[in-house]
Structure 1
Amino acid sequence: MKTINQLGIYLDHASANLIDFTGNDKEPQTIVSEFDIQDKHETLQRSESEMHHKEQDKQRAYFKKIATLAIGYNELVLFGPTTAKTELLHFLQKDNSFGKIKIEAENTAKMNLQEQEVFVREHFKKFDSKNS
């Protein structure tokens, strides 16, 4: 029987929590975006166009870090209160490495880490019962 590796990713544009639901009791990992408010103020003073390019480059690097950690999973659920989850979904869909990985995105309210862990557990348990 094939092991299904499941990962929940709670994210906004500043950080992401990766919550493993495979059963190995891994601690959640946090990835922090390098584009911060300081960057925004500094580049805005020079030009809005430059700020937009810098923001896109740093967001791409942020999503790439997340993708590198998510590549070993069969199922992903992306969730959170902002559009970052949809942007990450589109980023992953363009990557051929994620072609056979089931990815879902869900809108949620802002959550603390404990609420995120409960959400991931409930999401995958609900999903598993549909397949049984």
Structure 2
Amino acid sequence: MKTTKKLGIYMDHSTAELIEFSDASKETKTVCSDFNIQDKHETLQRSESEMHNKEQHSQKTYFKQLATSVLEFDQVVLFGPTEAKTELIHFLRQDHKFEKIGIELLTTDKLTQNQQHAFVRDYFKKFDVKFL
């Protein structure tokens, strides 16, 4: 029987915490967007259009980094307090490579790292049905 690889991604527009669900140690990989508030202020002083273009380019790069990680898994839960998770799933659905990956979106409050791990554990545990 094939082992299903499961991933939880707690994200907003600037960072994403990738939490693999497994019986092994709970390590979190962090992916950060390279567009920050300082960049926004600097480019906004020159031009709103330039700021918007830079922000879109940075977001696309950020989503590509996350997409590369998602390809390694069979089931993914995207969760967090912002709409970034919705934007990511729209980005992923544009590519047919992600059709066979089960992806679900859930809105949560802001969570600590321990709460994120507990959320991923509890989410995937409800699918682990053991037959005798």
* CA distance, structure 1, for counterparts of residue 128 and residue 61 of structure 2: 32
- What is the TM-score of this pair, normalised by structure 2? 0.94
Sequence identity, in percent? 56
- What is the CA distance between 1:128 and its match in structure 2? 2.8
Q: Which position in structure 2 is the counterpart of 1:119?
A: 119
CA drift of 1:51 comes to 0.8
- Deviant stretches of 4+, over 2 Å: 22-26
CA deviation after TM superposition for structure 1 residue 26, in Å:
4.9
- Counterpart contact for 1:4–1:22, Cα < 8 Å: no
**Higher percent of residues as helix:** 1
Contact 1:34 1:58 in 2 (8 A): yes
Cα distance in 2 between the residues matched to 1:28 and 1:99: 25
Matched, 1:32 2:28: no
Which shows bigger deviation, 47-56 or 24-33? Answer: 24-33
CA distance in 1, matches of 2:128, 2:108: 20
What does 1:11-50 align with in structure 2 at a 5 Å threshold?
11-50=11-50
1:106 Cα deviation after fit: 0.3
Equivalent residue for 1:91?
Answer: 91
8 Å Cα contact 1:14-1:32 kept in structure 2:
yes
Q: 1: CA distance between counterparts of 2:94 and 2:128?
A: 27
Amino acid across the alignment from 2:32: V
Distance across 2 between alignment mates of 1:122 and 1:46 = 47
Q: Deviations over 1:23-47 (max 9, x none)?
A: 3425110011100011100110111
Report which stretch shifted further, 4-13 or 18-27: 18-27
Find the counterpart in structure 1 of residue 6 from structure 2. Answer: 6
CA contact (8 A) 1:76 1:104 kept: yes
What is the total number of aligned residue pairs between the two structures? 131
**Distance in 1 separating the partners of 2:12 and 2:57:** 16
Mind listing any 5+ residue stretches in structure 1 that lack a counterpart? Answer: none
In structure 2, stretches of 5+ residues that fail to align are none
Distance 1:94 1:25 in 2: 33
> Within 5 Å, which residues of 2 pair with 1:39-118?
39-118=39-118
Aligned-residue Cα RMSD (Å) equals 1.4
TM-score by length of 1: 0.94
